[in-house]
Amino acid sequence: MKLLDGFRSRVEEELREILVKGSTPLLGLNTMNAYHMGFCDREGNPFNDSKGKYLRPLFCIVMCAGLGGDPEQAVSAAAALELAHRTTLIFDDIQDKGKERNNQPTVWAIWGSDQAINAGVALSCYARLAIHRLTLRNVPVEKVLGIQSVLENAVIDLCHGQYMDTSFVDAVTVSVEDYLRMVRGKTGALFAASCVVGAMLASPDGQEVKAPPGIPEG
């Protein structure tokens, strides 16, 4: 458990480096994103109240370490996966009109839907920038590009799942098969990508790998 807590702390440090960068107080767009991550209050004053479980980052790092890779190399990729996940939550809250998440008001509930969309788009860009930070950890560019491709495709699969979920609202009936397809995309895609990215980082040649049996690929 201490090992996982250590991995989680490293990912949070990386996320703070990407989003906060020592600015006190945070201003504008960065305030919304840092607030969403639990790194500051709505006025932009930093504090330590991260709400995330960091499950997707942990899947990535544990997979990398378990296959003989350097878990430290996986930190930036793990941060990217968390940023991609948190991006989807901003948009999900808008679509569902959810006013509270983790016992605090959602981004759109405070700043409105228009600004929340701006925050979500920016957060998705931070996810890509986090992938680029892998080069600072001596990950070859070819491997970085492969990892970025995996993440982008996972997000596309996730959006397909979200599309299906939204379409179900007006459906009279939903088949079990369609429901499972929706879940594989909306929830399973990023978990599968986390495992694949971790395995790629552990692989000497960085070749893209397939998700193991039983883990949906979207």
Q: How far is CA 12 from CA 16, 35, 97, 178, 195, in A?
A: 6, 14, 28, 35, 19
Q: How far apart are CA 61 and CA 63, in angstroms?
A: 5
In the chain, where the domains are located? 54-202
Q: Can you name the CATH fold of 54-202?
A: Farnesyl Diphosphate Synthase (1.10.600)
pTM above 0.85, yes or no: yes
From first to last of the 218 residues of the chain, give the pLDDT tens digit.
Answer: 788 889 999 999 999 999 887 555 667 888 999 999 999 899 988 887 776 789 999 999 999 999 999 999 999 999 999 999 999 999 999 999 999 998 899 999 999 999 999 999 999 999 999 999 999 999 999 999 999 999 999 999 999 999 999 999 888 899 999 999 999 999 999 999 999 999 999 998 755 565 554 444 44
CA angle 116, 122, 124 (to 5 degrees): 105
